[in-house]
Chain A
Amino acid sequence: MSDLDLGPDGGINEPLEPRLGHDSDLTPARGKRRRREWVQLLSDALHYRRTQIGLALFLFIVALAAVGPYFAPYSPSEFVTMPFAKPSSIAAFGGDNLGRDVLTRVLYGGRSVLILSIIATAIGMVLGVSLGLFAGYARAAVDDVVMRLLDVLLAFPQIVFVLLLVSVLGPRLWLIVLTVGFSHAPRIARVARGSTLEVKERDFVKAAESLGVSRSKIAFTEILPNITSPLLVEFGLRLTYSIGLIAALSFLGFGLQPPSADWGLMINENRIGLIIQPYSIFVPVALIAILTIGVNLATDGMARAMIGIERDTGAA
């Protein structure tokens, strides 16, 4: 559901404009205050039960992916039992479509999804924030042109965009990561631009401008640090969708290729055996579910914390 950017209140208030940053004058303590805003957001968010649970789920999967291979009983390409064998003492979750150990493949299969998703989201964030910051802080005409061009990219559902490029260049991993990242960029840019438009009217920005500080310096040292809260929430949201996209692409056969161990790929390979050996599908499905729900829960917690901070600083 990557294309719906509705914000934490479901999009009812349009647009959601939190009071960003709480500096209204230039003081030398800028550095300290800058760190405090997103740190404040994270620490506030952690007070919510859902953030705690979400983070716990996410870290569980990260740990599984990172350390899993060291605990795997076999190698992921080793044939240990009959195809679609039921769970037994040989294979705790049974055999997959070729008779490999499901448990082992599951322990090896998380790294690709996690790493690729995080990199893709990071690429999208860097690109999107740069474009949004630029467009938001530039002249209205430039802003218009940039956003119109980005609208063309926004015309494609993310998966269709990725598939278009994969059809041309083949299912390369670097291509998947780049295109997923690129497809996030316009959506992130919108959020970044919205926040930039608000922050650029602040006193400290005006003051810096009147002092003759270069606009790019202002953008990165004055504006950017004060829009980190919504961007953090956006990162969490985009990460959820990246995971969904990349797992789906592997599921469709355009991501990691056999015989790699990857959760999305496993789900597709073992689909035919769903009735006889459901574990070979259910375990990777459950792990992907835990991962995405965890990230989304934590993101929701951050979004609520952001509204809370907005309410507090708005009253100030």
Chain B
Amino acid sequence: MPPLAKIILRRLALGLLTLLLVSVLVFAATQALPGDTASAILGRSATPERVKAVRERLGLDRPATSQYFTWLGGIVRGDVGDSLVAEQPISQLLGGRVVNSAALVLVAALISIPLSILIGSLSGLLRDRWFDSATSLGSLALAALPEFVIGILLIMLLATQVVHVFPAVSRVNPNEPIWSQMNMLVLPALTLVLAVAPYIVRILRASMIEVLESEYVQMARLKGMPERIVLQRHALPNAVIPAIQVIALNLAWLAGGVVVVEYLFNYPGIGSGLIDAVANRDVPVIQAIVLLIASLYVGFNLIADILTILVSPRLRTGLQ
């Protein structure tokens, strides 16, 4: 087996192992409650008979390891269990939310990646000029701000105080597909874009600067190629390559970033779903969403790793 395939398989295996350990952690954190889960769920209406009934129904009287494997087995088969609050299968409950969050993340990625590449490479090109300084400071500021602050500033700017273009709250109609209600997506997506852009801009800039000083760009210029062609064909593509890992890492971050942003805009995705579940102590839903987000996070980090290996010849041959 070629060393490249071996390396990738090894990473994949490690990723799966990590996910397994993650599932143990998620399960342990939620099921190993101090005090009794059943009483906590029933709250005021807890009588000894009801508590016993709930415990049996949830299988809480079985040993923890047996519960864990039942849960895990269910997930592998695609059955994530039922919500405690809504008494519905979780997959039904979350299906729409997953689609909505996916749409949000997709839009955010589609806007942020090209935009940041453009701004970043321009910054690198116009190094130390006003455009570069302005972008640099802007990136620093945006990177510092918490996402909900960015979101609120956007709301004030584009929905309430300054201009009234977009809705401040995403009143998404669950009966219609998300694609027909795109204006509900705009502000949350924009918030995510601004949260993620500084990092991509920064690395594109550094990458561009390095590429512009490289020998083959000098060579292309010396050959008399028009500057525009030099930039398009030589500089830009080679500047993007080292940035791929960072871009993938940012996509991974979006999996967690949706939580606060969706809550802010009341956008019906898995992020706001998680907040609701935590507030209601809906344990199975919490487990399901956290596992989902962690899987996406691990998945994207894995892709970032593999992409780095693919584009870095040194790593491909297995040498470290």
Could you list which residues of chain A lie within 8 angstroms of chain B, going by C-beta atoms? 1, 3-4, 6, 9-12, 50, 148-149, 151-152, 155-160, 163-169, 240, 243-245, 247-248, 251-254, 267, 271, 274-275, 278, 281-282, 285, 288-289, 292-293, 295-297, 300
Total interface residues on B, using CB and 8 Å? 66
Interface of A is mostly: helix
B4-31 CB contacts (< 8 Å) to partner A: 14, 17-19, 21-22, 25-26, 29-30
Bound: A4/B248 CA distance, A: 11
Binding site for A on B (CB under 8 A): 14, 17-19, 21-22, 25-26, 29-30, 33-34, 140-141, 143-149, 152-153, 155-156, 160-161, 168, 195-196, 198-199, 202-203, 205-207, 210, 242, 245-246, 249-250, 252-253, 255-257, 259-260, 263-264, 274-275, 277-279, 281, 283, 286, 290, 293-294, 297-298, 301
Q: Decide yes or no: A285 and B144 within 8 Å by CB, A159-B259, A160-B259, A160-B293 being known contacts.
A: no
The distance from the CB of B30 to the nearest CB of chain A, in whole angstroms, is 6
Given A1-B143, A3-B252, A155-B18, verify A10-B297 contact (CB < 8 Å): no
Given the interface pairs A278-B156, A296-B144, the reply to whether A163 lies near B202 with Cβ below 8 Å is: no
The reply to whether B260 and A295 form a contact with Cβ atoms under 8 Å apart is no
Known contacts A4-B249, A163-B259, A243-B146; can you find 14 more A-B pairs with CB under 8 A? A4-B246, A4-B253, A155-B297, A156-B294, A157-B256, A157-B257, A163-B275, A164-B30, A168-B30, A247-B148, A275-B160, A278-B156, A282-B156, A285-B152
What are 24 sample pairs from A and B whose C-beta atoms fall under 8 A apart? A1-B143, A1-B195, A3-B253, A4-B249, A6-B202, A12-B207, A12-B242, A148-B18, A156-B293, A158-B256, A159-B256, A164-B286, A167-B281, A240-B144, A248-B260, A251-B260, A274-B156, A285-B149, A292-B144, A292-B145, A292-B149, A293-B140, A296-B140, A296-B143
Q: Is the CB of A253 within 8 A of B279?
A: yes
A6-B202, A10-B205 known; A292-B146 Cβ under 8 A: yes
Residue numbers in B under 8 Å from A278 (CB-CB): 156, 160-161
Q: Which residue of B lies closest to A241 (CB)?
A: B146
Q: In the bound complex, do residue B145 and residue A289 qualify as a contact, i.e. CB atoms below 8 Å apart?
A: yes
Contacts of B156 in A (CB 8 A): 274, 278, 281-282
**Chain B neighbourhood of A296, CB < 8 A:** 140-141, 143-144
What 10 A-B pairs are tightest by C-beta distance, nearest first? A157-B256, A244-B146, A296-B144, A10-B202, A12-B206, A10-B203, A167-B278, A292-B144, A152-B21, A10-B206
Give A63 Cβ to nearest chain B Cβ, in Å. Answer: 19
- If A156-B22, A167-B278 touch, whether A252 touches B260 (CB-CB below 8 Å) is yes
Shortest Cβ distance from B28 into A: residue: A168
Query: Of A6, A12, A282, A295, which one neighbours B144 at CB under 8 angstroms?
Result: A295
Asked if B246 and A167 make an inter-chain contact with CB atoms under 8 angstroms apart, the answer reads: no
A166 to B148 alpha-carbon distance, docked (Å): 19
Interface of B is mostly: helix
Contact among B26, B143, B147, B168 with A274 in the assembled complex (CB-CB below 8 Å): B168
Q: How far is the CA of A274 from the CA of B264 in the complex (A)?
A: 13
A229 CA to B115 CA, complexed, in Å: 34
Q: How far is the CA of A274 from the CA of B160 in the complex (A)?
A: 8
B285 CB to closest chain A CB, in angstroms? 10
Q: B286 touching A167 by the CB < 8 A rule?
A: yes
A307 to B34, CA, bound (A): 48
A99 to B151, CA, bound (A): 25
Instruction: Tell me, rounded to whole Å, the shortest Cβ–Cβ distance linking B133 to chain A.
Output: 11
Residues from chain B with Cβ under 8 Å of A157 in the complex: 253, 255-257, 259, 293, 297
Q: How far is the CA of A155 from the CA of B22 in the complex (A)?
A: 7
The complex places the Cα of A160 from the Cα of B277 at a distance, in Å, of: 12
Residues of B within 8 A of A9 (CB): 206
Q: Is the CB of A155 within 8 A of B294?
A: yes
Contact (Cβ within 8 A) A285 B153 = yes
Partner of A6, one of B149, B195, B246: B246
Taken together as a complex, chains A and B put the C-alpha atoms of A49 and B163 apart, in Å, by 34
| Alpha-carbon gap, A157 to B22, bound state (A) | 12
A282 vs B156: C-alpha distance when bound (angstroms): 9
CA distance A240 to B263 in the complex (A): 21
Given contacts A6-B202, A157-B255, contact A267 B152 (CB under 8 A): yes
A148 neighbours in B (Cβ, 8 Å) = 14, 17-18
Does B286 lie within 8 Å of A248, measured CB to CB? no
B-chain residues with CB within 8 Å of residue A166 when the two chains form the complex: 278
Q: Which residues of A contact B278 (CB under 8 A)?
A: 163, 166-167, 254
Most-contacted residue by chain B among A155, A253, A271 (CB, 10 A): A155
